Structure 1
Amino acid sequence: MTEIRSVAVLGAGVMGAGIAAQVANAGIPVMLLDIVPEGAAPERRSQLAEDALARMMKTDPAPFMSKAAARLVTPGNIEDHFETLSQVDWIVEAVIERLDIKQALYARLEAVRKPGSVVSSNTSTLPLATLVEGLPASFARDFLITHFFNPPRYMRLLEVVAGPDTRPEAVAAVTRVADHALGKSVVAAKDRPGFIANRLGVYWLQAAVVEAVDQGLAIEDVDAVIGKPMGIPKTGVFGLLDLVGLDLMPHVTKSLAAALDPQDPFHALNRPMPAIERLIADGYTGRKGKGGFYRLNKAEGKRKEAFDFTTQTFRPARKADVPALASAGRSLNALLEHPGPHGTYAWRVMGRTLAYAAALLGDAADTVDAIDEAMRLGYNWKYGPFELIDRLGADWLRGRLEAEGWPVPEALRVAAGRSFYRVEDGRRQRLDLDGQYRDVVRAPGVLLLQDIKLTSQPIMKNGSAALWDIGDGVACFEFTSKMNSLDADIMDLLGKALRRVKRDYKALVIYNEGTNFSVGANLGLALFAANIAAWSEIEALVAQGQETYQALREAPFPVVGAPSGMALGGGCEILLHCDAVQAHAESYIGLVEVGVGLIPAWGGCATMLERWATLGRLPKGPMPAIARVFEIVSTATVAKSAAEAKDLLFLRPTDGITMNRDRLLADAKARALALVEGYTPPEAPSYTLPGPTARTAMGLAVTSFRRLGKATPYDEVVAGALAAVLSGGDTDVLTPLDRDAVLALERSHFMRLVRTPGTLARLESMLMTRKPLRN
């Protein structure tokens, strides 16, 4: 069996460097090679790869998950270091999209690579059959296309294209490492132009732009229509083009048009766009340039402006004005049937796009779930195109296409009277082109709560949470509130769940499949209670949270947290009270309460003090740990990856990291079961804290920052409360404190802050603007 333990990436451009970074994030050593620049000094022959590596260390969002990952990348060049390619298991080619250059490189590779090593191209435009034409059969057997999406760290989709001569073992080896190590959802695509996601995604974008220009619609209105109602990111169309770069689209459309069959519907949409060409020529290439369809007018105080296709000029951006969106609340059909211009626009864009998706079945991919997965992960659609068709009704779409005189794809005729997906005997099934339903099969080792829900009911639930049986004596606690914010209902059900698990189960996993694990406490409820002076209600919720999290910590069975996305404030604190955490690599964990004028009060301060005192590898004595926790919490530091969360001790060195989001629940369940035998709850900690002297020292540090303009007056107030908790209040170093005493300090100083106008102003600002107030 082919195993991949080392990788080389050829081409240190944005994509090549990003692929190398993600390989390094997976803990795999990787060489990053590029050409020797003309006239390069002897010590700078690897300049292109070295500079790419240096850029990535400064890029935000960061391609690397940790500094340790960056050290796994070895820069070099394809002249001096080409022979070293004989040592690697997988060579990824990511050079310029020119067939002659790629094939010349492949010929050189064939002479040095070791037998059985895999070579893949990151091309998005050149067919595999053309790439291997004229090359030895031995090369074709080990060659495939691996189409990553940019940025490679954050985009989960990987399209894999195998040729008729490609060894199945080579495909399996790349799929295995991409899935388990790189965290990718691998979709098998056919060797057709644009593969799946770009074939359909570019068609969709082109249709959206052409129709907006033809109808003279405002881009704000267009982005509102082709956005949330469709389950498409709020960037919509023009915001997305600004993000990826306006100058990229002409190259993509040109290459796609050249490769597609003359009868392909894409050609009807592919036409010159003089207005866009002028924008690009004037430097409006999107966010990387002076702006794009949207820009910030610095001469007008950074006023946001939008491009107007009718006047060919920029004007002040405005809130979308789309009466048809009221229909979207009733159904997607109602929006597409709305008689106004925006309803017409929605139909002419999405009707075309969904019909094109149906026509791609059997051409770009064999199954509807492959196409849906490609669009969900490649373009961040909430629903794939066939899931959208099911929402509309395949018969409704076919009838509308016929009424408009548009071609009806065979897939829609096959689906007559049926849907593309159904649930049968608890299994999700898809409809194939032969008219038969077949099970949608998950990869071995993938466990999803959405699948469990097809065959079972929750053990218990309320409006904010649910408890599920996930098999083998393990229960799963799921947040279901808006943005998974924490409230009294969650605390109440978690308390009940702990008692139920103690009676009937071996272990508990805390997990959900939302975009974020939890954004923390429900600030809206907190502000409402504060505005009516319901101080006893607020204090009761703080006490309830402390008691519930303490019960979680002391439970007589293992509890494993399994976060993905943001785990902030109270969401971070619940993880701090778990016996172990199995975190998705893209977990962003932090105690951010100071941003709303508060301090962690559900045990966050107490647990961070305990961790940094025992695990922090700091000089002896209480002050180093206190100072480090004060620095982390007072600056609302958020780890930008699970690896970074370990550096900050939001995660322990022993906690696990899962690269593939779809494998997180299974890994967390396995972790919980591994802890069952001989399990005992952790011992209660004792704290040795210096008291007023430490509080004074921290206060002087904050005052200094305020004088330098690095902290605001109210930052000083909040930091003072935090310092009082971390220093142990009025205790002294000779008097140990138990955990209850530190929790009492958290609760007391939290309540003092929540009564102050400065904190109420911060809470209101965060709810209104989603930005922290610097008061």
Structure 2
Amino acid sequence: MNRTIKKVAVLGSGVMGSRIACHFANIGVQVLLLDIAPKELLPDEEKKGLTLDAPVVKNRLVNAALQAAIASNPSPLYRKADASRIKTGNFDDNLKDIAGCDWTIEVVVERLDIKKSLFERVEKFRKPGTLITSNTSGIPIHLMTEGRSDDFRKHFCGTHFFNPPRYLKLLEIIPTPETDPAIVDFLLHYGDLYLGKTTVLAKDTPAFIANRVGVFAIMDVLRIMQEVGLTVEEVDKLTGPVIGHAKSATFRTSDVVGLDTLINVANGLAQGLPNDEAKDVFQLPDFLKKMGESKWLGDKTGQGFYKKVKGEGGKSEIQALDLATMEYKPSAKVKFATLETTKAVEALAPRFAMLVAGKDKAGEFYRKSFASLFAYVTNRIPEITDALYKIDDALRAGFGWEMGPFETWDAIGVQKGVELMQAEGRQPAAWVSEMLAAGHSSFYKVSEAGVRQFYDIESKSYQPIRGVENFIILDNLRATGKVLWKNAGASVLDLGDGILNVEFHSKMNSLGQDVIQGVLKGVELAEKDFRGLVIGNNGAQFSAGANLGLVYMQALEQEFDELNMMIAQFQNAMMRMRYSSIPVVGAPHGLALGGGCEINLHCDRVVAAAETYMGLVEFGVGLIPAGGGTKEMTLRTALKYEEGEPELNLIRNTFVTISTAKVSTSAAEAFDLGFMRRGDEVVVNSNRVIAQAKAAAIELAEAGYTQPVQKTNIKVHGKGALAMFKTGVYAMKEGRYISEHDQKIADKLAYIMCGGDLSAPTEVSEQYLLDLEREAFLSLCGERKTLERIQSILTTGKPLRN
């Protein structure tokens, strides 16, 4: 059956329901968002003479919830306008409207009786054959279908989104024994392709996969920290970015999410897992019980493991909870010898062996925690899933771990991991010993064809991971010898089918000489023996921009000839790429800032992940975009002049975008800001971006791509427009909205975009604008206040307004 999702009903408009509705609206689906009608009037409603039957009253709860979601930060919407796809209503009047929906998702309060009662009402209106799912984090899925029809049961499934649904990639699919396998396959595929999720098939066991293992890991950390004698701050240092977890680590994350959530899930697992060998880990330690009783629940109550207080001089400071005394004290700086050994190691995987080898408390903590985690996950197969990779997928996508438990174990070495367990008096499940005895020394490997495989316990052999055939993982290609050229900052890889890829692998994928050399080499090789080029990587960010430290050092030492050459090389590389004889496709994701944005501006097509944050941010450090960004935005604006809108309005809008350093909050918004154009594409699942970019390069090549010619007819407006800009900027400065240095930068930006001091509107070339760009950039590098701004970003990470 060819199933299409055109309209979705979301039942329940709380935090999860409203945001699930927003994410469906993001991808273009019409949404019906329903909730209960209020039982009492508000005082304001009584004053207006309204009754409980008035539509504005009946829809008060759902409308308020939706507006709160739209106003929240970070936004659940790609664009605010996407909210127009959501229609609201109430269960009394509008439940009948689910008859026109292809999928009904229940997201009401976590009580089985309420869910079952709602499903009884739903069945009266639901069209047979349509999907019906429940978003629950703990209630057994099979209990919800008691008393329902065969058609309902056949099309019913658990779909556990993680909050916030737009940003957290995990979607657990939990079927019942009666769910049609075709429905399960459809949900796994739809979640991946359309919703951009890592879809994981889970069994109907308490807390499913991610929360079962993730909450165990958190609770086990609480146990081990007491055993080893560690503080809150020390644990957060040990469980953050150094092991590929979020910067908020264990306790700061708990404060943000709310300790009541952790307490409720842990209590539920403690009660619901009588046969779990580690069930005692889910018992709340005394300090957590006391915090719950005292309502020290984190950010929502003003204090948790941390508390913000006013210190001397009214300055805010963070205090940490001393778990021994249950009193707050100033947060202390943390230093461990073990962590010092890993500072020079940029890649995550090699760190783990160094961490477990530590001789201090940190090393002891890691040995105990990894031994415990590894033993736990081996015993969860086949209880919660049949395949080990699903546990890794769930922890990466749901908890933000860069590497899952089995991937971490592989990094340490499987045999070494077993030895860690044995030293702590633990044993892995029998299948691990059988795997090692059979000569299989890792949980994952890459086949000769570049396909990632996992050790399948049932067949006792390596099998391909489901769905990865739709992704291009550059590490897998690297492992099979597909690297044609590389230096310290970039590599050129063969993607197959005549398409090359330039990958950045500098810190934060910043753009220095090595990366520029890589781009030029990619173009050269592609023109010689291939038919297209992709600029993409699998890093956390596409690129945070140019190597600002290098710019700062050269400017500080007044090496202006070197700076001029460096900028010219970047500009020339962008033009070489833009006017090559083969199509070039940009594949951004995450941050694509400054030079990272400029690279994409000069591609023939951009295939961007939906979560792409693109912008020309140079103004924030006292500079202007000089890698062709100002030129290209001016050129793109000039191309719009024939569309009828007043030309000065168009160029003013572009000027504002650059001078306020606007960054898109999504790829969709990048279109609004002019960083992406008609013909560019958005891919919701970031794992698919490079594969889709490769397909776009092939499409352009097969359509008969012709080498373009540099433009010499870019209309600029000269003195008239320049006077307008300068007047506006002066007024902003006089009104104290901007500083005198901001005025100087803005005037230089306007000078470039107007084509300089021309007496009348004139047509100029791209090279003319590039030269103006470079000249302005160099002059600003000689300004003390610009250097102060760059220094502030480099040393504190915060912009300076001077």
Same fold (TM over 0.5): yes
Q: Deviations over 1:503-527 (max 9, x none)?
A: 2111111111111111110011111
2:692 and 2:282 map into 1 onto residues whose CA distance is 46
Measure how far apart 1:621 and its partner are. 4.7
Measure how far apart 1:215 and its partner are. 4.4
Classify 1:125/1:714 alpha carbon distance in 2 versus 1 (closer, same or farther; 3 Å).
same
Partner of 1:210 in structure 2? 223
Structure 2 unaligned blocks of 5 or more: 42-51, 344-349
Partner of 1:772 in structure 2? 799
2:799 and 2:137 map into 1 onto residues whose CA distance is 41
Which secondary structure state, in structure 2, belongs to the residue aligned with residue 190 of structure 1? coil
> Which deviates the most, 682-691 or 579-588?
682-691
Partner of 1:44 in structure 2? 57
Measure how far apart 1:327 and its partner are. 5.0
Correspondence for 2:281 among 269, 294, 317: 269
Which secondary structure state, in structure 1, belongs to the residue aligned with residue 592 of structure 2? strand
Q: Deviations over 1:456-508 (max 9, x none)?
A: 33122211111111121111111121111111222223223212211211111
**8 A contact 1:479–1:512 mirrored in 2:** yes
Which secondary structure state, in structure 2, belongs to the residue aligned with residue 422 of structure 1? strand
Correspondence for 1:295 among 300, 307, 328: 307
TM-score by length of 2: 0.93
Partner of 2:18 in structure 1? 17
1:433 and 1:377 map into 2 onto residues whose CA distance is 23
Measure how far apart 1:280 and its partner are. 4.8
**8 A contact 1:690–1:727 mirrored in 2:** yes
Measure how far apart 1:337 and its partner are. 4.4
Task: Name the aligned partner's letter for residue 94 of structure 1.
Answer: V
Partner of 1:432 in structure 2? 456
Measure how far apart 1:767 and its partner are. 0.6
Correspondence for 1:580 among 605, 614, 617: 605
Classify 1:183/1:424 alpha carbon distance in 2 versus 1 (closer, same or farther; 3 Å).
closer
Partner of 1:475 in structure 2? 500
**8 A contact 1:506–1:557 mirrored in 2:** yes
Structure 1 unaligned blocks of 5 or more: none
1:414 and 1:291 map into 2 onto residues whose CA distance is 48
User: Is 1:756 matched up with 2:783?
Assistant: yes
**8 A contact 1:689–1:732 mirrored in 2:** no
1:553 and 1:569 map into 2 onto residues whose CA distance is 17
Measure how far apart 1:620 and its partner are. 4.4
**8 A contact 2:266–2:283 mirrored in 1:** no
Partner of 2:49 in structure 1? none
User: Is 1:460 matched up with 2:476?
Assistant: no
Classify 1:335/1:467 alpha carbon distance in 2 versus 1 (closer, same or farther; 3 Å).
closer
Which secondary structure state, in structure 2, belongs to the residue aligned with residue 475 of structure 1? strand
Which secondary structure state, in structure 1, belongs to the residue aligned with residue 307 of structure 2? strand
Task: Name the aligned partner's letter for residue 380 of structure 2.
Answer: L
Partner of 1:396 in structure 2? 416
Partner of 1:673 in structure 2? 698
Task: Name the aligned partner's letter for residue 622 of structure 2.
Answer: G
Partner of 2:347 in structure 1? none
1:693 and 1:7 map into 2 onto residues whose CA distance is 53
Which secondary structure state, in structure 2, belongs to the residue aligned with residue 116 of structure 1? coil
1:704 and 1:247 map into 2 onto residues whose CA distance is 51
Partner of 1:421 in structure 2? 444
Q: Deviations over 1:43-94 (max 9, x none)?
A: 2211222112211221111000012321111111111001111111111111
Correspondence for 2:386 among 356, 360, 366: 366
Measure how far apart 1:693 and its partner are. 3.4
1:281 and 1:345 map into 2 onto residues whose CA distance is 29
**8 A contact 1:569–1:600 mirrored in 2:** yes
**8 A contact 2:194–2:685 mirrored in 1:** yes
**8 A contact 2:202–2:208 mirrored in 1:** yes
> Which deviates the most, 307-316 or 583-592?
307-316
Task: Name the aligned partner's letter for residue 693 of structure 2.
Answer: A
Alignment of 1:304-315 (within 5 A): 304-315=318-329
Classify 1:583/1:526 alpha carbon distance in 2 versus 1 (closer, same or farther; 3 Å).
same
1:617 and 1:135 map into 2 onto residues whose CA distance is 61
Task: Name the aligned partner's letter for residue 665 of structure 1.
Answer: I
Correspondence for 1:377 among 378, 382, 397: 397
1:622 and 1:685 map into 2 onto residues whose CA distance is 19
**8 A contact 2:188–2:201 mirrored in 1:** no
Measure how far apart 1:216 and its partner are. 4.2
Task: Name the aligned partner's letter for residue 403 of structure 1.
Answer: A
1:508 and 1:617 map into 2 onto residues whose CA distance is 32
> Which deviates the most, 703-712 or 632-641?
703-712
Classify 1:213/1:717 alpha carbon distance in 2 versus 1 (closer, same or farther; 3 Å).
farther
1:174 and 1:655 map into 2 onto residues whose CA distance is 27
**8 A contact 1:49–1:77 mirrored in 2:** yes
**8 A contact 1:609–1:625 mirrored in 2:** no
> Which deviates the most, 637-646 or 34-43?
34-43
Measure how far apart 1:618 and its partner are. 7.3
Measure how far apart 1:343 and its partner are. 2.5
2:296 and 2:212 map into 1 onto residues whose CA distance is 25
Partner of 2:112 in structure 1? 99
**8 A contact 1:569–1:590 mirrored in 2:** yes
2:763 and 2:127 map into 1 onto residues whose CA distance is 63
Classify 1:425/1:675 alpha carbon distance in 2 versus 1 (closer, same or farther; 3 Å).
closer
Task: Name the aligned partner's letter for residue 174 of structure 2.
Answer: V
User: Is 1:643 matched up with 2:668?
Assistant: yes
Q: Deviations over 1:711-761 (max 9, x none)?
A: 223212211211111121111334322211111110111000011111111
Partner of 2:165 in structure 1? 152
1:648 and 1:634 map into 2 onto residues whose CA distance is 13
Which secondary structure state, in structure 2, belongs to the residue aligned with residue 736 of structure 1? strand
Alignment of 1:243-254 (within 5 A): 243-254=256-267
> Which deviates the most, 36-45 or 71-80?
36-45
Alignment of 1:176-195 (within 5 A): 176-195=189-208
User: Is 1:702 matched up with 2:751?
Assistant: no
User: Is 1:223 matched up with 2:236?
Assistant: yes
Partner of 1:692 in structure 2? 719
1:622 and 1:24 map into 2 onto residues whose CA distance is 34
1:624 and 1:567 map into 2 onto residues whose CA distance is 27
> Which deviates the most, 13-22 or 321-330?
321-330
1:284 and 1:693 map into 2 onto residues whose CA distance is 62
> Which deviates the most, 446-455 or 478-487?
446-455
Task: Name the aligned partner's letter for residue 4 of structure 2.
Answer: E
1:218 and 1:685 map into 2 onto residues whose CA distance is 65
1:361 and 1:707 map into 2 onto residues whose CA distance is 68
**8 A contact 2:195–2:685 mirrored in 1:** yes
Task: Name the aligned partner's letter for residue 429 of structure 2.
Answer: P
**8 A contact 1:591–1:600 mirrored in 2:** yes
Which secondary structure state, in structure 1, belongs to the residue aligned with residue 332 of structure 2? coil
2:606 and 2:490 map into 1 onto residues whose CA distance is 20
2:755 and 2:367 map into 1 onto residues whose CA distance is 63
Which secondary structure state, in structure 1, belongs to the residue aligned with residue 436 of structure 2? coil
Which secondary structure state, in structure 2, belongs to the residue aligned with residue 425 of structure 1? coil
2:130 and 2:420 map into 1 onto residues whose CA distance is 51
1:507 and 1:339 map into 2 onto residues whose CA distance is 51
2:138 and 2:114 map into 1 onto residues whose CA distance is 14
User: Is 1:715 matched up with 2:742?
Assistant: yes
Task: Name the aligned partner's letter for residue 706 of structure 2.
Answer: T
Classify 1:328/1:415 alpha carbon distance in 2 versus 1 (closer, same or farther; 3 Å).
farther
Task: Name the aligned partner's letter for residue 192 of structure 1.
Answer: T
Partner of 2:46 in structure 1? none
User: Is 1:724 matched up with 2:751?
Assistant: yes
TM-score by length of 1: 0.96
Classify 1:562/1:276 alpha carbon distance in 2 versus 1 (closer, same or farther; 3 Å).
same
Classify 1:403/1:499 alpha carbon distance in 2 versus 1 (closer, same or farther; 3 Å).
closer
Task: Name the aligned partner's letter for residue 298 of structure 1.
Answer: K
Task: Name the aligned partner's letter for residue 286 of structure 1.
Answer: G
1:590 and 1:616 map into 2 onto residues whose CA distance is 23
Classify 1:100/1:706 alpha carbon distance in 2 versus 1 (closer, same or farther; 3 Å).
same
Measure how far apart 1:447 and its partner are. 2.8
Which secondary structure state, in structure 2, belongs to the residue aligned with residue 657 of structure 1? strand
Classify 1:408/1:671 alpha carbon distance in 2 versus 1 (closer, same or farther; 3 Å).
closer
1:485 and 1:188 map into 2 onto residues whose CA distance is 37
Which secondary structure state, in structure 2, belongs to the residue aligned with residue 567 of structure 1? strand
**8 A contact 2:69–2:76 mirrored in 1:** yes
Correspondence for 1:608 among 607, 630, 633: 633
> Which deviates the most, 748-757 or 222-231?
222-231
**8 A contact 1:226–1:346 mirrored in 2:** no
Correspondence for 2:687 among 637, 654, 662: 662
Measure how far apart 1:685 and its partner are. 5.0
Partner of 1:449 in structure 2? 474
